[in-house]
Structure formats: C-alpha cells, structure tokens
Amino acid sequence: MKRIAAIIAFVSVLFFTFPLWAGAVKILPESTSDRTFQFVKTASTFLGTPLAVNALIPNALVVMGKAESPNLFIEAAGIAYMLGQWTHDPGTSVKAIRSRDRLAPISIDTSLKEEDIHRHNIILLGKKNAYYRKIRSRLTGKGSFIQVVEDGLANGRDTLFVSDSKAGFYLANRRLFFKSGAYRGFFSFVKLGALIMKGDFDAALFDLDDPQAVRSCGKPVILAMGMGSSVPVEMLAVAKKRNRIVFKDLRSALKSGDKELALTTWKGAMETCYACHQGTADVKKYRKFVPLGEEHGYHQHIAEQFGLECSQCHSGTRSIVGYGN
Ligand code: HEC
Ligand code: HEC
C-alpha cells in the first residue's frame, strides 16, 4: 500500500511541478513550451457537405525517419493517438477521402510533401531524418529533451523536436493525455452549465457519467488527492472541493430538479477552476501559463450555440481573463 501511495504521490508531483519534470525530460526554451505549442486548431471539417461543422482538428504532423528504433515508432503512434483523443476529427474533407490521402497525422520524412511543411506545425522525432539537420543549429537541449523551434521548417510554422523515446513517452502519455482529458472535460463542463441554464436536467445528468464528458482536468486533480503532504494543502483543498461539487453536490441538485440550486452549484465548481488557474487570496496560481485562444476559445463556440452571453458564466470572481483580454 505504501509503495502504491508513494508512486501515486510521485506521479502527481510530476503533473504539477515543473522543475521535477524538467529533471526527467527537459522542456525548452521555456519550461511551459510543451504546453503552449499549437498542437490543434479549430476548422470547419467536411466543408461543402451538410455535415460541415466547426471542430478541433490536429494542427501538427508527427514526422520521423525510417531508420529509427521500434521504441521511437511506438511513441510516434502514441503521440498520434493522443492527438486523436484530444481532437474531434482528423480534419477530413470529401476530396481527401476520395483521393485516398492519409488521414492520421503521422508521416515518414521521405513522404512528407513541401506543402505539408507549410500547412502544419511539425513534431519531429529523433535525429535520423531529412529535417533534423535543418534545425540542429538552433537546438540547445542535451539528453532527453523537447524543444520548440519557432519558424522551424517554414515561416509561421513551429517545430517541436523530441529527442528520443523517453521524451516521446512523456509527450504522449503525460502532456497530450492530460490535454485531451482537460479539454474534453472543459467543453463538457461548459455544455453542462448551458444545459442547466436551459433546464435540460436529463442531458446534464447523462453528461456527468459519460466517459467522454465531464472529467475536466479531473485526472490530475484526482492524482493530486492521492499525494497527501507533497501537494500544497490549499491546492488539495480546492481539488477536493471541486470533485465534491462536480460529482456529488451537482448530481443531487440535478436530481432534485431545483434549477437555482443546480446553477449556483455549477458556478461554485467554476470558481474552483478559477482558483487553481488564476489564483486567489488564499490559493496560489497553479497553472503557470495562459491557454491558447485557438483551442480554449472553442468553449465560446459552444456557448454561442446555446445562445448564451459571456456574462452568464463570467462575472465577479469568474471574470474573463487570460487570452480574452
Ligand atoms: C486543483 C487545481 C485545479 C482545479 C480545481 C482545476 N484545474 Fe484545470 N488545471 C490545473 C493546472 C495546474 C493546469 C495546468 C497543468 C499543466 O501544467 O499543464 C490545468 C489545466 C487545465 C486545462 C488545460 C489548459 C491547457 O491549455 O493545457 C484545462 C482545459 C482545464 N485545466 C480545465 C479546468 C476546468 C474546466 C476546471 C473546473 C471545472 C479546472 N480545470 C479545475 C489545475 C486545476
Ligand atoms: C456556459 C459558461 C460559459 C460561457 C457562456 C462562456 N464561458 Fe468562458 N469560461 C467558462 C469556464 C468554465 C472557464 C474556466 C476554464 C479555464 O479557466 O480554463 C472559462 C474560461 C474563459 C477564459 C479564461 C482563459 C484563462 O485565462 O484561463 C476566457 C478568456 C473566456 N472564458 C472567454 C469567454 C468569452 C469571450 C465568452 C463569450 C463569448 C465566454 N468565455 C463564455 C465558461 C463559459
């Protein structure tokens, strides 16, 4: 039991503490560069058909050379899979499907087209490929590292270089796994608020238990709760409060059919997001970067579809900040 607790504590610390992560896999040029790389974007997919819809699609292509080890290939597959978990759609068009284009965001260096380099950011794995020498002089990392090179292979397109399979493992199983859960959960949480405002309690209750919905950045929050004294008590308190509100109080408020109570409870949960992300008088700011407007702003699209005003969720301690200013 002790050992399990120790492992959980360790994993959780890794989720929240930058220097420790840096000890394992260095993130360059900033310790948050892997968080703020534009992996995804919003676009209209299936254009020209009745299915056309605004969705999150991959904005980065995973690229590597044939001569790399099987271990690195496994991480490449993991990265592409996690990008798939995060996005809504591969970004397909009828034309691409008809011309039998590859839909997964993964490619061998020799089959990469010039236009791919201009259209996407590139996640470049390992050194045994045709592109490494083009960015080598700009890389400063040593050992296992991830480094973002601005305008790496094309103007206006960044390259995220992944040095080896250890760094690849981190990217797939820590960073992108977290992003996929956090964003899916975030969008579902916003939808949940909208459903409560519209009085659709059955759909709201369904959302609470749907594995694709309200988990928010709950994964690290749940991990944090297992780590006892190694996490700041204030953060632990916010994490516990958030989980109690989302998974207990909100459920009973929805079951009781009391709209005012459900809405107040939901807003209480939103205050915990703000506490950890922005900091308050009692709680430090635990999220060390401003999220990117491209993917984060998709929640505004959801809100608009429900015909909501920003101020229905954002007021007082939940005022709009970050990229919104
Ligand atoms: C216990 C603290 C805590 C609570 C409560 C919390 N978060 Fe987070 N959240 C974080 C931290 C820390 C990060 C940044 C993790 C990292 O370093 O990548 C984060 C990141 C995120 C991200 C990803 C941002 C990005 O671009 O990578 C989303 C989305 C998110 N949280 C949504 C929510 C929502 C919605 C809620 C409320 C329902 C919430 N979080 C509650 C601590 C918290
Ligand atoms: C149904 C509720 C809801 C509506 C409506 C809504 N938002 Fe949000 N918004 C949220 C939640 C929940 C968060 C907290 C997640 C987080 O901090 O990452 C948030 C966070 C934000 C952030 C914070 C970014 C940061 O620094 O973390 C911005 C900016 C933002 N919203 C802009 C808007 C704008 C602009 C509108 C109107 C077009 C809008 N929102 C409408 C629920 C909503």
- Digit-coded pLDDT (tens) for 280-294: 888 888 888 999 999
Calpha distance 129→145 (Å, rounded): 17
Q: Which tokens in the block code for residue 149?
A: 């090179």
CA 247 distance to own-chain centroid: 21
pLDDT: is 172 or 94 the higher one? 172
Mean pLDDT of 246-272: 93
Give domain limits for the chain: 24-169, 180-324
pLDDT (tens digit, 9 = 90+) per residue, 9-47? Answer: 444 444 444 444 445 899 999 999 999 999 999 998 887
pLDDT: is 156 or 220 the higher one? 156
Q: Which tokens in the block code for residue 198?
A: 């519209």
Output the residue whose Cα is nearest ligand 1's atom 31.
Answer: 217
User: What integer pLDDT is reported at residue 5 of this predicted model?
Assistant: 43
Report field, pTM of the whole predicted structure over 0.85: yes
The answer, yes or no, to whether any atom of ligand 1 lies below 6 A from the CB of 174, is no
Output the residue whose Cα is nearest ligand 1's atom 22.
Answer: 182
pLDDT (tens digit, 9 = 90+) per residue, 66-100? Answer: 999 999 999 999 999 999 999 999 987 788 788 88
The answer, yes or no, to whether any atom of ligand 2 lies below 6 A from the CB of 275, is no
Output the residue whose Cα is nearest ligand 2's atom 27.
Answer: 322
Atom of ligand 1 nearest to the CA of 246: 38
Atom of ligand 1 nearest to the CA of 32: 17
- Cα of 83 vs centre of ligand 1, distance in Å, is 18
- Ligand 2 pocket test target in 32, 200, 283, 313 with most atoms within 8 Å of CB: 313
Handedness of CA 5, 6, 9, 11 (dihedral sign): negative
End-to-end CA distance of the chain: 47
Using pLDDT thresholds of 50, 70 and 90, give the confidence band for residue 8: very low
Atom of ligand 1 nearest to the CA of 178: 18
User: What integer pLDDT is reported at residue 225 of this predicted model?
Assistant: 60
> DSSP character for 144?
S
**Number of the ligand closest to the Cα of 32:** 1
Residue 229 has pLDDT above 90, yes or no: no
Atom of ligand 2 nearest to the CA of 304: 38
Exposed/middle/buried for 95, CB within 10 Å: 0-12, 13-18, 19+? exposed
In this structure, of 145-154, 173-182, 228-237, the range with the lowest mean pLDDT score is 228-237
- Ligand 2 pocket test target in 189, 320, 325 with most atoms within 8 Å of CB: 320
Task: Provide CB contacts within 8 A for 66, sequence distance 6+.
Answer: 108, 109, 110, 128
> DSSP character for 249?
I
Instruction: Check if the beta carbon of residue 163 is closer than 8 Å to that of residue 28.
Output: no
- Cα of 115 vs centre of ligand 1, distance in Å, is 35
User: What integer pLDDT is reported at residue 227 of this predicted model?
Assistant: 58
The answer, yes or no, to whether any atom of ligand 2 lies below 6 A from the CB of 80, is no
Residue 234 has pLDDT above 90, yes or no: no
Q: Which tokens in the block code for residue 15?
A: 């989720």
Residue 128 has pLDDT above 80, yes or no: yes
